[in-house]
Every structure is written in structure tokens, then in C-alpha cells.
Amino acid sequence: MKKQKQQQVAGPRGLLDELSELQAVTEMQQTGKQRVLIVEDSSVIYSMIKQVLEFRQYSVDTAKDGTEALRRIQEGEDYHLVLMDLSLPTAMNGWECLRAIRALEDPRKASVPVIAVTGNAEAHTPQQFSNAGFAALHEKPVNFVTLLQLVTQHARVPHKVAV
């Protein structure tokens, strides 16, 4: 009875969010895969990360810069996690891309967990990463065991957002 009352209060937007979450769960159950976006300009690094994640049954997309990553997130299906290099070759670096993601109108897309993957972590404090909205930090060179632990810990289905 209590659950029905909450759904009535949630209104049409709440119902649409619940349906979207149900669709994401159903999709993952059917495919068995969580969707990860790798944002990395080094083809060697993103190829290696992609192979490791695909071996672990993740569905992986890649973007070589912040602009492409933002477009994929805005126009595509929901991602369960984003791995974001911070030094990207276009006008939109990883920090700026994260700010743009967090500003998206769709709460599921705006709240996707983003893990910073960088070789320049010493230039920033852990608090700066947290304040910016990163779910975690992974320093290069990439340690695949540690990275997989972070991916497993932070990837989520469905994206739960209070609206």
C-alpha cells in the first residue's frame, strides 16, 4: 500500500524514471553486460582497457575526446560507468567534460559514475577530484586489477537518482 502511494506522489516523471530503470535492468539481464564508456586519447591505453573489460563481459564504447564523450552520453543509451582521462586533445578536457555531464537535464545521464584515469593526479588533491564529482581516481600507469575493482565497485544498474 505504501509503495502505491509513493508512485502516485511521484507523478508522470517519476513513473517514466522507474520505467527507464526497469528497461536498463531488463537490458542488462538480457545481455548480461553493463555499458562502460572509455574516454581516452591514447589508442594503446583505450584498446588495452577495452579488451580487459570485454573479457570481463562489459559492453564497451570509446571516445577520443570530451566532445565525443558528451555527445555519446547525450544521444546514446545510458552508460553504467565512464572512465575519463583528464588530459584530452580538444577544447574540452576531462574536468570540463565531467562538468558538462553533471549539467545534463536527464538525471540518469547526469549522475553516471565517472572514474578519473590520469597520469597527473599529483597535480590535484583527492578532495578536488571528489568535489568535481568523480566517483574515484585511478592513476596511470593502469593497474588492471585495481581498475577492475573500481569498475566493479562503481558501475551501477540502474542509475538511481532522486528526482
Q: What is the pLDDT of residues 60-89, one digit of tens each?
A: 999 999 999 999 999 988 999 999 999 988
State the Rg of the chain over Cα.
16
Instruction: Tell which residue, 162, 38, 9, 31, has the closest CA to residue 97.
Output: 38
Give the model confidence (pLDDT) of 43-55 as tens digits. 999 999 999 999 9
Q: Residues 125-150: what's their mean pLDDT?
A: 94
Q: Full-prediction pTM beyond 0.75?
A: yes
Q: How far is CA 160 from the centre of its chain?
A: 13
Domains and CATH numbers, the chain: 1-32 (no CATH), 33-154 (3.40.50.2300)
Bigger pLDDT: 125 vs 151: 151
What pLDDT score was predicted for residue 91?
79
| pLDDT tops 70 at residue 8 | no
pLDDT number for residue 148: 95
Query: With 60 as the cut, is the pLDDT of residue 7 above it?
Result: no
Q: Calculate mean pLDDT across residues 112-122.
A: 92
Q: Band the pLDDT of 123: cuts 50, 70, 90.
A: confident
- The percentage of the chain sitting over the pLDDT mark of 90, rounded to a whole number, equals 66
Query: What's residue 124's pLDDT?
Result: 86
Q: What letter represents residue 163's amino acid? A: V
Q: How far apart are CA 158 and CA 155, in angstroms?
A: 9
Torsion 56-58-63-66 (CA) sign: negative
Residue 17 has pLDDT above 80, yes or no: no
Mean pLDDT score across all residues of the chain: 82
